[in-house]
Structure 1
Amino acid sequence: MILSLILLALILLASLGLVLAPLRASVPQDPDAAERDRLLAERDRLYAELTALEDEQRRPDLERRAALTLRALDALPPAPRSGQTRALALGGVAVAALLTVAGALTFVPRWQLAALGPGEAQNVRDALALPELRRRAETTGDRAAYLAWGKAAFDSGQYAQAVTAYGNALKLDPRQPEALRRLGILLLTRPEQTGQPLRPEDAQQAFLLIRTAAQLAPQDPESQLLLGFALARFGQDEEALTALERYRTLDPKGRDADELITAIRARQNEANPGLRVYAASCASCHGASGGGGALGPSLRASSLSRDALRAVIVNGKGAMPAFPNLGAAELRALLDVLERWQKEGP
């Protein structure tokens, strides 16, 4: 970065030097200025006399003198022109403009990238690299080249190119999780991109692609993330939460699922009073779907009976606080949820 700033500063200084040098230079002196001025004045005087001449006998003499004056002017060396300085200045401006543009194209993008976050800067770099990545993929026909092109296109939002690149990669090897899940999510979200309705057969195809990718790469955070989005799209909220919580486990710093998890919980809480109680009192310790959290164990793996669960909830146990103020209906709905989760398992 420091080297870039130094080079750009040198370019600017060179540009200013080219512009200002001709303007600083003094106009060269004309050694024949006095004689030139005298002859010009004589020429003008003779022309004026010829124009106003009344005595035609004088015309030959005046014309001879005018011709001699013009010949003397032609014999003088050309006078230095101030236009040369102007031309040099204009040339300097043109060169300076070219250098400034070259500097801007070379260094300004780096300044802009430095002002962006790491993810945004990488997206910009991906977009700038697309032409070369596409040329390389189409020239070599290599699977890895198509994947590199598809990834750069997808990450920079050039989804039409991503579809082409990933489609060609899958023709070479159909068992590629990244290409499968990203093509699936692009197909599933096509209505948002194009405004066209999603056909049922396309929706099923999209879900199949995403699910296959998750089966091929179950430890990949993006596989679980996109699976969660797809499941939520089809109304399978419980399964979606499981996948999204799995994504959070695989990528603790990832925040891409936060809004969807919140929306799913809100939907569940409105429809199920037991889940509403669980979200308010239990989820912070035992996880969004009862699979365990930072403090509390998995409730899905619990083997406690309904009565034992009730006793722990009302009276507390160990680090588990007591909730004696739960109403009978709320407690019954919460126990129904916990029992269902025990049957479903982890």
Structure 2
Amino acid sequence: MILSVLLLVLIVGAALLLMLSPLRQGTPDDPDAPERTRLLTERDRLYTELAALHEDDPKRPDLERRAALTLRGLDALPPAVQGNARRTGRLALIGVGVMALLTVAGALTFVPRWQLAALNADESRNVQAVLELPGLRRAAERTDTDAAYMAWGKAAFDSGQYDQAVTAYGNALKQNPRQPEALRRLGILLLTRGEQTGQKISDADAERATLLIRTAAQLAPREAESQLLLGFALARYGQDDAALTALESYRTLDPKGRDADELITAIRARQNDSDPALRVYAASCASCHGAAGGGGIGPSLRASRLTRESLKAVTLQGRGAMPAFPNLSAAELTGLLDLMEKWQEEGQ
């Protein structure tokens, strides 16, 4: 904050120094002034002498020749720089006004952006999105196009201005109802509105919101956010297996994404309490094959075509980079094999 104030003071000081300098200087300097003054003095002197001579005076031709040379010298000089105190003052005041406007603009744009250097990447993007919101909103309302509404909605959503995001994405879908980003983000905002307002969402509204998210995932199954928000929506209604499948897809599409970690952990905890096979799987297999067998570092167990005997052999003896698990009890092994065969039947 202190640095920002100092920067503004320096900008204002520099602006005033530059803009008021014409007032201090008055008429601008004429680099040819000495020579111009000498020639004008010489011209006036010669004219005075010529005026005092008779027409037939023998000195007259020489004086006329010298006067002509003096006039030629004056003509050869560039035009004198003419100063105008009133005009100079007016220009200076206009300049001060312009610099004041630029200073205000700098306070609202340059200084905040300069301060972004102290923020991390996500914080910086959020602050920039907030700064851009008013302009994006005006552009959307003026042009009434889906692209402008999408730009406004994205900036609002990314900066946490969710009321604006709902309005923007809703208008974008009126223009074009097949926009995955608008569908899934509007859906998740409607689905979680109760958490934001403290009011319980109705079952009908919850179903509509979930449908928006499902539709987005169908339109753009390879977009990580589609699978992430689908996973959140399914988990809210206790569809843990389907939620894990979606969240695994999210992790595959965005290996660096960490937004699903807590939810995956919570779902695993719920499942492990009720299913011994899932407890064994979570402890020994999930880190490589995914929370619900959809694959990760290791291959997908849901896409596997191995027989039960082959699955048993690989589990107990290992294969390639996969370690062996020879210490599983008979009950643990049976439950694990039953689980993998169930996933094979369900598929992806």
Give the TM-score normalised by structure 2: 0.69
2:241 counterpart residue number: 238
Q: Distance in 2 between matches of 1:278 and 1:115?
A: 44
Q: Quote how far apart the aligned CAs of 1:194 are.
A: 0.4
Matched, 1:313 2:310: no
State which of 273, 287, 290 in structure 2 corresponds to 1:287: 290
Matched, 1:182 2:192: no
Q: Distance in 2 between matches of 1:127 and 1:317?
A: 53
1:202 counterpart residue number: 205
Q: Quote how far apart the aligned CAs of 1:15 are.
A: 9.7
Matched, 1:340 2:342: yes
Q: Please state whether the residue corresponding to 1:185 is helix, strand or coil.
A: helix
Q: Quote how far apart the aligned CAs of 1:265 are.
A: 1.5
Please tell me whether the aligned partners of residues 188 and 206 of structure 1 are also in contact (alpha carbons under 8 angstroms). yes
Unaligned runs of 5+ in 2: 18-99
State which of 163, 167, 171 in structure 2 corresponds to 1:164: 167
Residue identity in the other structure for 2:125: Q
Change (3 A) 1:16 1:138: closer
Q: Quote how far apart the aligned CAs of 1:245 are.
A: 1.3
1:86 counterpart residue number: none
Q: Quote how far apart the aligned CAs of 1:303 are.
A: 2.6
Please list every run of at least 4 consecutive aligned residues from structure 1 whose deviation after the TM superposition is greater than 6 angstroms.
Answer: 4-7
Q: Distance in 2 between matches of 1:232 and 1:282?
A: 22
Alignment of 1:87-98 (within 5 A): none
Residue identity in the other structure for 1:240: A
Alignment of 1:55-74 (within 5 A): none
Please tell me whether the aligned partners of residues 193 and 201 of structure 2 are also in contact (alpha carbons under 8 angstroms). yes
Please tell me whether the aligned partners of residues 316 and 325 of structure 2 are also in contact (alpha carbons under 8 angstroms). yes
Unaligned runs of 5+ in 1: 18-97
Please tell me whether the aligned partners of residues 133 and 149 of structure 1 are also in contact (alpha carbons under 8 angstroms). yes
Please tell me whether the aligned partners of residues 249 and 294 of structure 2 are also in contact (alpha carbons under 8 angstroms). no
Q: Which moved more, 1:237-246 or 1:323-332?
A: 323-332
1:115 counterpart residue number: 118
Q: Distance in 2 between matches of 1:292 and 1:331?
A: 20
Matched, 1:191 2:194: yes
1:66 counterpart residue number: none
Q: Distance in 2 between matches of 1:311 and 1:168?
A: 57
Q: Quote how far apart the aligned CAs of 1:7 are.
A: 6.8
Residue identity in the other structure for 2:319: K
Q: Quote how far apart the aligned CAs of 1:9 are.
A: 7.6
Q: Distance in 2 between matches of 1:106 and 1:216?
A: 38
State which of 227, 230, 240 in structure 1 corresponds to 2:230: 227
State which of 299, 302, 305 in structure 1 corresponds to 2:304: 302
Q: Quote how far apart the aligned CAs of 1:285 are.
A: 2.3
Q: Quote how far apart the aligned CAs of 1:304 are.
A: 2.7
Q: Which moved more, 1:320-329 or 1:263-272?
A: 320-329
Change (3 A) 1:199 1:143: same
Matched, 1:147 2:147: no
Change (3 A) 1:6 1:198: closer
Please tell me whether the aligned partners of residues 187 and 206 of structure 1 are also in contact (alpha carbons under 8 angstroms). yes
Q: Distance in 2 between matches of 1:169 and 1:254?
A: 27
Matched, 1:218 2:221: yes
1:39-88 Cα offsets, whole Å, 9 max, x none, are: xxxxxxxxxxxxxxxxxxxxxxxxxxxxxxxxxxxxxxxxxxxxxxxxxx
Q: Distance in 2 between matches of 1:13 and 1:140?
A: 40
Change (3 A) 1:164 1:105: closer
Q: Distance in 2 between matches of 1:218 and 1:309?
A: 30
Q: Distance in 1 between matches of 2:295 and 2:188?
A: 29
2:258 counterpart residue number: 255
1:246-284 Cα offsets, whole Å, 9 max, x none, are: 112222222211211121112111221111111111122
Q: Quote how far apart the aligned CAs of 1:128 are.
A: 1.3
Please tell me whether the aligned partners of residues 317 and 325 of structure 2 are also in contact (alpha carbons under 8 angstroms). yes
Change (3 A) 1:153 1:320: closer
Residue identity in the other structure for 2:307: S
